[in-house]
Amino acid sequence: MQQLDLVIYNETGLHARPAKTLVNLAKTFESDIKIQHGAKKVNAKSMIKVLTLGVKKEGRITVEIDGADELAASVAIEEAVVSGLGETVNHPSSNGHSEAAASETPSNGHAKPELKANELQGVAASPGLACGPVVRWTESEFDIPTDHQGEAAELEAFNDAVVKTQAQLEALVVKVTKDLSAEEAEIFEAHLEILGDPELQNTVKEQIKAGKNGAQSWHAACEEQATALSQVGDELLAARAADVRDLSGRLLSHLLNQPQNSRVLHQPSIILARDLSPSDTASLNKNMVLGFVTSEGGPNAHSAIIARAMGIPAIVSLGEGLDSIGDDATIVVNGTNGRVEINPSAESLAIVKAEQAKIAEKQAAMLAMAQDFAKTKDGVRIEVFGNGGSAADSELCKQNGAEGIGLLRTEFLFLGKEEEPTEAEQFETYSKILEVMGDRPVVFRTLDIGGDKPVPYITVPNEENPFLGERGVRLMVNHYPEMLRTQLKALLRAYKESGASKMAIMFPMVGQLYEWHSARQHFNDVAKELGVDTKGIELGIMIEVPSAALNAPAFAAEVDFFSIGTNDLTQYTLAIDRQHPTLAGKADGLEPAVLHLIKLTAEAAHEAGKWVGVCGELAADPAATKILIGLGIDELSVNNNAIPALKDRIRQCTKTECEAVAQKALRLRSAADVRALT
């Protein structure tokens, strides 16, 4: 048996994200792995059990590993914990400060003004100001039966509910990734981890065998774990109880065929609730929800994290004060200082409205200019396109000033479904997108599946290194050519029948010329079969693999354009899996090695008279704007809400300045040095 004595230096301890990373790592080994903190010892392969340890920053844990691969497991786990389990950590030896020392740092001396008679103090959870009428939300309640249909029937019903819940969560991960970001989507990936928790599943099945029905067993098991998390004595970990209860309600709705409460707001309002689940928060309509106030919860709860990502002002932990707010009240929510003002005076209302106006004025100014082309101060135009996955996304991009769609992720039409979408379904979706964008170009990426995007009806070969295997165009050409041809038919029909003047198709994960040739041949065959004139269609490739960037001159002679996917290009250049437990934080697209590949790609494209864009996350990174322009990028493609600010940044610089910054960046030694430039 191997034993490790380790210290957790993560800023917020062993909370959801690092716990998920540790649990997933433990699951890759056959050995029995236990983690002890204080007097409590738990299964390291159980997400909930690891969370209930309540390990805070600088907390000590003992890891016991017993089994055939115990040595390899001990090396991997020690490295992962020391490296931060996917988060950046500061060890005492590196900065000379401990948590205790940090806590003794004096405050800035600015005390909050005293509360007015009509004010309540809560905890600031999401910054911003909101003012409006209140609406109380009640929690979903389930009528849990007590009868038992027999062990076999109960187990079958429970397993079926698990499958439906898993599919729903996977679809939600896709939606949140698209609407917010991958970081917020990790919240629901953690829900998936809890759903598949072996100890939780076993507890439910044991209770079913003991005579309880599935609903009783699941509800009781989840409440037991939620209560345990609430009693850990750590605010951050206690907030995870809401995640367990959220998941509990989601599965119960499937198991009992009882829909969860659907809430409809008839006017823009501020929500009052005991607490909001992560699912509730992610489903909020930003046009109708001005803000929310809860009596419970904390600033590190997942609902608060989602609210911040959505830009919704929020206050939590108001306590009994929530009940003192009348149902017909108008309130001011200050998500920055945590204060609620009930039925504000005319003077207070005027101050709030003035501050809101100032914020809105800045946003409106950027939005007003967003429909104009983005040109640098010395007159160089940089095209700003949007990223999306649907007609609705495309409409939002256009409203925010997108000059086209630079990355239409067609996989969103395929993910979260049990069956492949038909040609007719795809045709309808693609036609709507082209119709929305009118004379603005749309770049459709063909189905990008494999690696981190599993689909039930696509069997991806079992590979030790799936990110280095058959994904993207490789998977389609090698195993699902008919699926690729069906998609190309739908795209070409949509182009032909919509009367669109511009359309582009790009193939993902092309690393070698033969892969491009194979994909292009399928396109040519389908175009010939349909009799479509393809003169207005551009064909390009994603530059995601270093070999494609290094061989860009050869590709540039044959393709119409390049679109650089900086997420994968960074991953493959640095040989760092973006989800790696210890290295993910080091995968920075501003690493000079990645910038050199971007430069090579841009130079090859321009030499051949072709255009080159960037559609990865780096395109929206404020620190990267000048550098990408200076490297010769012609088009930047970002999520809709980032478009106005990106155009504003472009207008604040000159091309000459950008080229100088880019040249400096190429000579630096690390991403940190590059970021210090801007």
Give the residue numbers marked as catalytic: 302, 615
The DSSP H or E segment spanning 280 is: helix 278-282
The alpha carbons of the chain give a radius of gyration, in whole angstroms, of 27
Identify which of 577, 579, 573 has the alpha carbon closest to the alpha carbon of residue 601. 573
d(CA 537, CA 615): 19
Order of all β-strands in the sheet with 314-316: 119-121, 339-342, 330-334, 129-136, 269-273, 289-294, 314-316, 123-126
- Count, in order, helices (H) and strands (E) of the chain: 27, 21
Decide: helix, strand or coil at residue 34.
Answer: strand
DSSP state of 114: P
- Residues whose CB falls within 8 Å of the CB of residue 547, separated by 6 or more in sequence, listed in order: 511, 512
**Contact at 8 Å (CB) between 598 and 550?**
no
Identify which of 470, 480, 486 has the alpha carbon closest to the alpha carbon of residue 421. 486
Beta strands 611-614 and 635-638 are: parallel
Main-chain dihedrals φ then ψ at residue 571, nearest 5 degrees: -60, -45
- CB atoms near residue 578 (< 10 Å): 17
CA distance to 90, 124, 190, 346, 656, per residue, from 19 (Å): 18, 26, 9, 49, 47
C-alpha triplet 478, 483, 489: angle, nearest 5°: 125
d(CA 313, CA 128): 5
**Contact at 8 Å (CB) between 53 and 35?**
yes
